[in-house]
Amino acid sequence: MSLNLDEAKITAEVLTTALPYIQRYEDKLIVVKYGGNAMTDPELESSFARDIVLLKTVGMHPVVVHGGGPQVDSLLKELGRQSDRIDGMRVTDKSTMDVVEMVLGGSVNKSIVNLINKHGGRAIGLTGKDANLIRAKKMLMQKIGADGSTQAIDLGFVGDVVSVNEEVIRMLISSNFIPVIAPLGVDNEGNTYNINADLVAGKVAEFLKAEKLMLLTNIKGVLGRDGEVVTGLTPKKVDQLIEDGTISGGMIPKIQCALDAVRGGVKSAIIVDGRVPHATLLEVFTNEGVGTLISRDVDSALS
């Protein structure tokens, strides 16, 4: 078979364009949160897995934290049950916790691990309970009523991250593994908690001082009042958009943990459209990126 020179030229150009990005991120840690809503199409799932393997192969250190909210909903439905969400958090009683653990720590985690490994990676799946990776405590949610009074809301076994055992992650990374983490945590008494996956990804990125936190979701980015993607956000603007209801539901914890992560030392956090094939690569290997960027100099970012 003879070499097609035109095709070869394009390939060479693409590879050369990638070089500065490969050099820039060499040996750097990139935390990718893979949301349940982005796991809907087998081709997209494959392109995600290949992107992760490629990042690792060229010398970066991807760490995957996954969600799986819609997958938990499906099993609950099959069981003839449902659960409420308050500001994006699933109210989790004991029996819901069992289903959450089964789905997130079981089928969802293992299918991502399997897919990455099928594409030549060395993924290893763990939940926040393994090696006490994620220490958690019960989340205390406060709601402010219309009259200004504060109301405490009990979400059951929903947790906040207290700490992340970074040693475990670093050990896996240095042995060339790709950690794939399910968003469960454990407290000192051994209680298991269901933790929003964005929160876990943000804290993992923060504890490991990651270069980048990428939150893959099912929307183009954070949409402003006019329905257009907002490319850069300030904390003040985020507060305004939450207050007037423009940012709601699952986007609330997502944007808040992106802000917390950059305040905590992560260089940049990006909310990316996981429905775009190779969204992860596009974000790392292009200047423009895709979605909404929250960088460390967030106070001077576009609003």
Ligand X SMILES: CC(=O)N[C@@H](CCC(=O)OP(=O)(O)O)C(=O)O
Ligand Y SMILES: Nc1ncnc2c1ncn2[C@@H]1O[C@H](COP(=O)(O)OP(=O)(O)O)[C@@H](O)[C@H]1O
Name which of ligand Y, ligand X, none residue 90 binds, using a CB cut-off of 5 to 8 Å depending on partner kind. Answer: ligand X
Is 35 annotated in a binding site? The answer is: no
Neighbours of 120 (CB within 10 A): 12
Is 117 annotated in a binding site? The answer is: no
What strand order describes the sheet that includes 192-194? Answer: 159-164, 134-138, 184-186, 192-194
In the complex, the smallest distance separating the C-beta of residue 16 from ligand X, rounded to whole angstroms, is 36
Torsion, Cα 37 231 198 69, to 10 degrees, reads -20
Cα 63 to Cα 179: distance, rounded to the nearest angstrom:
5
Q: In the window 32-51, what residues touch ligand X (CB under 6 A)?
A: 35-37
User: Which positions lie near ligand Y, rule CB under 6 A?
Assistant: 35-38, 67, 69, 88, 198, 217-219, 222-223, 246-251, 254
List Cβ neighbours of 26 (8 Å cut-off, separation of 6 or more): 58, 59, 60
Q: Cβ(204)–Cβ(65) under 8 Å?
A: yes
Q: Cβ(253)–Cβ(198) under 8 Å?
A: yes
Nearest to ligand X by Cβ — which residue? 67
By beta-carbon proximity to ligand Y, the closer residue of 127 and 292 is: 292
Is 81 annotated in a binding site? The answer is: no
Is 69 annotated in a binding site? The answer is: yes
In the complex, the smallest distance separating the C-beta of residue 238 from ligand Y, rounded to whole angstroms, is 10
Decide: helix, strand or coil at residue 1: coil
Binding site for substrate, residues?
68-69, 90, 194
Specify binding-site residues. Answer: 68-69, 90, 194
What residues line the site for ligand X (CB under 6 A)? 35-37, 67-69, 72, 89-90, 100, 158, 183, 194-197, 250
